Amino acid sequence: MFKELIIALVVSLIIAAPSFAMAKDGCGGACNVCHTLSLKDANELLKKTGITVKSVKDAPAKGLFELLVEKDNKQGIIFVDYGKKHLLQGMIVDLETLKPVSAHAQDLPQPKQVTSVDVTKIPADKAITMGNPKGSVNLYVFTDPDCPYCRKAHQELKKLATIAPDVAIHIMLFPLPMHPGAFDKARAVYESKSLDMLDKAFDGKEVPKPTNESSKAAIDEIIKFGNANGISGTPTLVMPDGKVEVGMRDAETLKKMLEKK
């Protein structure tokens, strides 16, 4: 399952990455001789995103700058092409090992290996609930509207709501720092309390700008819980007994997993 996700990420990155034509005289030297991006220029380039660039390094893959960024006290990695025209989200994976590689590996905090959480501590009152709100089986899904895997997962959760009528699916909006627009989208969905708005956000459609400060506090509370309990990626599932499952399953598999709880 993990290798399949990694391969999908690699394909996604290859498709998204821009092409780079060689100079007339060729390019056989160090890339950073011709291509540079200062910390000051990086922050100016990305000022519209609301993130702060903490460090700029050459990415493990040629043609990209790797940026260590911070937003809402969370750090993450994004990439900018040498042309300084495109921002890329995701990860670079070594095809030999199928493991992520990063120029900032030593700078990033290592997430705690979490296997379970206390479900009574989850701020479920801040969730958007799919399925049966009064269901006796509670599933908690930490998810980001701009995460491509979360978008696929959302479609499986909608199927799960149909085939498992006793399950309350609590959507914990958990925007990641590498997705600059996700925080405001999460706030807008929370303010609406609407499943239609939730669907729009996860379908990549435009949603209104948030207007209520209480939504910021609500999303911050979910993020704070996730950070404190070692939840660092999306989608992350918390089962009824508190067991943490990273990544999504198809609806039928998830239904069987919930029936065992």
In CATH, 119-259 is 3.40.30.10: yes
178 vs 197, which has greater pLDDT? 197
Q: What is the mean pLDDT of the chain?
A: 85
The rounded percent of the chain whose pLDDT value lies above 70 is 84
pLDDT the model gives residue 175? 94
Indicate whether this model's pTM tops 0.85.
Answer: no
Measured between alpha carbons, how far is 171 from 173 in angstroms, rounded to an integer?
A: 6
- Closest listed residue to residue 80, CA positions, set 105, 57, 96: 57
Task: Note the pLDDT tens digit of each residue in 47-81.
Answer: 988 889 999 999 999 899 999 998 877 788 999 99
Domain coordinates in residue numbering, the chain: 2-13+29-101, 119-259
Q: What is the mean pLDDT of residues 172-196?
A: 93
Burial 13-39 (b: 16+ CB within 10 A, else e): beeebeeeeeeeeeeeeebeeebebee
pLDDT band at 4 (very low <50, low <70, confident <90, very high): very low
Burial of 47 (0-12, 13-18, 19+ CB in 10 A): exposed
Task: Note the pLDDT tens digit of each residue in 211-227.
Answer: 999 999 999 999 999 98
According to DSSP, the residues that pair with 246 across neighbouring strands are: 236
- Residue 42 token pair: 């990086």
According to DSSP, the residues that pair with 77 across neighbouring strands are: 68
Burial of 12 (0-12, 13-18, 19+ CB in 10 A): middle
Domain 2-13+29-101 CATH (choose: 3.10.450.70, 3.30.470.10, 3.10.520.10, 3.30.559.10): 3.10.450.70
- Of 12-16, 81-85, 90-94, minimum mean pLDDT range: 12-16
